[in-house]
């Protein structure tokens, strides 16, 4: 499966945030937002990525774009992760990885000679009309916020 491309409609989703709120593509129509898919709460790369957003929060929030982190972790895990690192953006639980599959980020991975399915670190900017505006495939955790701000600020 491939990613939805710029100009294409963003795949539908509905996920619960770490604070219990429900978000869906339909509930976000009319506003520009970001879905960034990451593998796992409280791991080194994912923590660097999330804390990069936190540390640049003034610049991120100045864009007026809502940011959502998405992983297959539970709502409870997301809450602990968000509290531990004082993250400022909602984390959405994709426990059944349906949304990751729809966005093409649920892929075969390998580590130490073992293959498994998991989330690929990829970010999507979604426009107010529900279309994909930009895709950052396999983005590096430490470069994520800078690349995102370049697009959101333009």
- The answer to whether residue 42 scores a pLDDT higher than 80 is yes
The span from the CA of 11 to the CA of 19, in Å, is 23
Residue 112's pLDDT is 86
pLDDT (average), residues 27-37: 97
Split at pLDDT 50, 70, 90, the class of 111 is confident
Given the residues 46, 65, 67, 92, select the one marked as catalytic.
46
- The answer to whether residue 1 scores a pLDDT higher than 80 is no
Residue whose pair of structure tokens reads 């539908």 in the numeric block? 12
The span from the CA of 76 to the CA of 147, in Å, is 29
Structural domains for the chain: 14-152 (3.40.30.10)
pLDDT per position as a tens digit, 58-96: 999 999 999 999 999 999 999 999 999 999 999 999 999
Q: What is the pTM assigned to this prediction? A: 0.95
pLDDT per position as a tens digit, 116-142: 899 999 999 999 999 999 999 999 999
The span from the CA of 77 to the CA of 82, in Å, is 9
Residue 45's pLDDT is 94
* Catalytic residue flag (residue 46): yes
């Amino acid at each position: 499966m491939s990613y939805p491309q710029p100009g294409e409609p963003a795949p539908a989703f509905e996920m619960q945030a770490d604070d219990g709120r429900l978000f869906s593509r339909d509930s976000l129509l009319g506003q520009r937002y970001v879905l960034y898919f990451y593998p796992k709460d409280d791991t080194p790369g994912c923590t660097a990525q999330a804390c990069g957003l936190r540390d640049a929060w003034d610049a991120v929030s100045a864009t007026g774009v809502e940011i959502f982190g998405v992983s297959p972790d539970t709502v409870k895990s997301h809450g602990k992760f968000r509290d531990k690192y004082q993250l400022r953006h909602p984390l959405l639980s994709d426990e059944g990885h349906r949304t990751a599959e729809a966005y093409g980020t649920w892929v075969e991975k390998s580590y130490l000679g073992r293959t498994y399915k998991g989330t690929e670190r990829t970010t999507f900017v979604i426009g107010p009309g529900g279309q994909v505006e930009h895709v950052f495939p396999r983005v590096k955790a430490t470069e994520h916020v800078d690349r995102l701000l370049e697009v959101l600020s333009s």
